[in-house]
């Protein structure tokens, strides 16, 4: 009899949890975690490309020390943040992560602009391959970020709407952090990769012609 009562209680609880949105919250929470994992994966892929990219540029343009150091420091700052699943529940840590990745994106853009001054570097096969990989990774970052934004938006709506908000409070399903709209366009835009190997046009300074040498006297 006690086993029967216990079974009925379990069935009743399961029905109630399903009806009050617990399963929906659980599923959407897992979707957010999966989307976040993909964001982290793509940012790590970009970080792994940067040392080789910097080395390639340094081989042809060692004098661009300021830009190279800027990229290296931005990468170090971005990779120093522990990208754990708990980060999306910490507003301060999430904002720090977003700012660091934004700085790295801008540093990479500066690097690619600098490269335009070195046609011999742009024509190097190794560098061109790294550029192509970087472009593909930046595009995948944009896709992963968008999927995460959508997953969090849907989850946060579910957490806030009635009656699932009551279940969310009961089981500690809190609103999650999302990428802010501030500077989002600049941060999420992939760096432009150019494969034009022509020498950039430069404004030539007119050179005054030297005076003609008089013919030797007879």
106 Cβ neighbours under 8 A, 6+ residues apart: 74, 186
Is 66 domain-assigned? yes
Could you read off the pLDDT tens digit of each residue along the chain, which spans 218 residues? 554 444 333 334 444 445 578 999 999 999 999 999 999 999 999 999 999 999 999 999 988 999 999 999 999 999 999 888 788 989 999 999 999 999 999 999 999 999 989 999 989 999 999 999 999 999 999 999 999 999 999 999 999 999 999 999 999 999 999 987 554 454 444 444 333 333 333 333 333 333 334 444 44
Over residues 191-204, the pLDDT tens digits come to: 443 333 333 333 33
Structure tokens at 19: 């009806």
| Residue that the structure tokens 């995460």 belong to | 148
Is 215 domain-assigned? no
Is 48 domain-assigned? yes
Q: What angle do CA 173, 147, 143 make, to 5 degrees?
A: 155
Over residues 36-54, the pLDDT tens digits come to: 999 999 999 999 999 999 9
Which CATH number do you get for residue 70?
A: 1.20.1440.20
Q: How many residues does the chain have?
A: 218
Is 210 domain-assigned? no
| Residue that the structure tokens 């930046």 belong to | 138
pLDDT at 208: 35
> d(Cα 53, Cα 127) in Å, to the nearest integer?
7
Q: What angle do CA 78, 81, 85 make, to 5 degrees?
A: 120
Strand boundaries in the chain, DSSP class E: none
Is 1 domain-assigned? no
Q: Which domain holds residue 82?
A: 7-188
Q: What stretches of 161-209 show up as alpha helix (H) in DSSP?
A: 164-170, 184-188
Is 30 domain-assigned? yes
Is 26 domain-assigned? yes
Number of independent structural domains in the chain? 1
pLDDT at 67: 93
């Amino acid at each position: 009899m006690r086993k029967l009562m216990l079974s009925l209680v379990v069935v009743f609880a399961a029905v109630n949890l399903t009806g009050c949105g617990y399963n929906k919250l659980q599923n959407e929470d897992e979707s957010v975690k999966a989307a976040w994992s993909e964001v982290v994966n793509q940012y790590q892929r970009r970080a792994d490309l940067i040392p080789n990219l910097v080395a390639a540029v340094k081989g042809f343009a060692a004098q661009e020390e300021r830009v190279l150091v800027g990229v290296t420091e931005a990468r170090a700052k971005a990779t120093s943040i522990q990208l754990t699943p708990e980060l999306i529940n910490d507003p301060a840590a999430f904002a720090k992560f977003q700012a660091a990745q934004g700085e790295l994106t801008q540093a990479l853009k500066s690097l690619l602009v600098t490269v335009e001054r070195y046609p011999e570097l742009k024509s190097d096969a190794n560098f061109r391959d790294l550029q192509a990989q970087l472009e593909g990774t930046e595009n995948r970052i944009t896709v992963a970020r968008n999927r995460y934004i959508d997953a969090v938006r849907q989850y946060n709506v579910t957490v806030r709407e009635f009656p699932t908000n009551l279940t969310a409070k009961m089981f500690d399903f809190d609103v999650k952090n999302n990428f802010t709209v501030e500077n989002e366009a600049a941060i999420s835009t992939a760096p432009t990769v150019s494969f034009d190997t022509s020498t950039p046009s430069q404004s030539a300074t007119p050179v005054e012609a030297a005076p003609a040498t008089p013919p030797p006297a007879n």
